[in-house]
Chain A
Amino acid sequence: MDGKNDGKWRCPVCQVGADIEGRKIHVYVTGHIWPLHFDCEFAKDLDHIDFSKLERVS
């Protein structure tokens, strides 16, 4: 990871948000069910997340 994806992201389907910093991802989930839908990008490992399917928040 070169840091170009660092920042806050959101899944447009479930509205789950995540912070990404280098090789770290922090996902915020309301409730205890994860993921909220089968193809949520945040449920993939960091190297396989398709950021084109996510919304950049900041």
Chain B
Amino acid sequence: MLTEINDNLKKLVEIAGLDFALEPTRYIARKLRTGEAIPLVESYYQPFAPAPAAHTFTFINPVGYVWIALFQSIEVSQNGVIELTAYLDDAIVPLLYIPRLVSHTMNWAASLPFSFVMKQTGLITYVNHDAAAQWISVSSMGVYLRKDVWEEDSKLMDMAAEKYAHLEVK
């Protein structure tokens, strides 16, 4: 009986430890501290010509790194006149498709953990549908994380989830 209780406690401690370590902000903080990740806080301002006009960016990661978005803020000159489409890597459906973009913020790390992970490239298209010139400003907090580290950790996260999702407590 005591052995079983002890075993169960060990499992609970292990689950709690994984829960703590893999919580996105703690995970990123640890990777930053160990030097496996590099912080990147940036913003850009981009004006657009009057409609019809499209401005597309392909962002390409430095070789050997993935980019993880943690927080983003978007301001537009006028709500509801810019169409935004964003694809990650070779995805066939967009991560973001906003037909009438409005100013907003997104806390990616808290709301959709590890959802905005760019393994190699990101394709972002802005289409100005307004007769007047418009602009957008984007601010983001993110990190470059070593690709090999991310691939290994992703596997570990999946393995842990698989192991504990069906755990039987005696």
Chain A interface residues toward B at CB < 8 A = 23-35, 43-48
Contact = CB atoms under 8 A, between A and B. Distances in A.
Interface of B: 40, 42, 44-50, 52-62, 67, 133, 140, 142
B49 A45 contact: yes
Nearest to A31: B62
Contacts, number: 66
Contacts of B50: 47
Contacts of B47: 44-45, 48
Q: Main SS of the interface on chain A?
A: mixed
A26 B56 contact: yes
Nearest to B42: A33
B96 to A, nearest CB: 15
Nearest to A34: B44
Given A35-B44, A45-B133, A47-B50, A30 B62 contact: yes
Contact of B53 (A34, A43, A46): A46
Nearest to A35: B44
A33 B42 CA distance: 6
User: Top 4 A-B pairs ranked by shortest CB distance?
Assistant: A26-B56, A46-B49, A45-B47, A45-B49
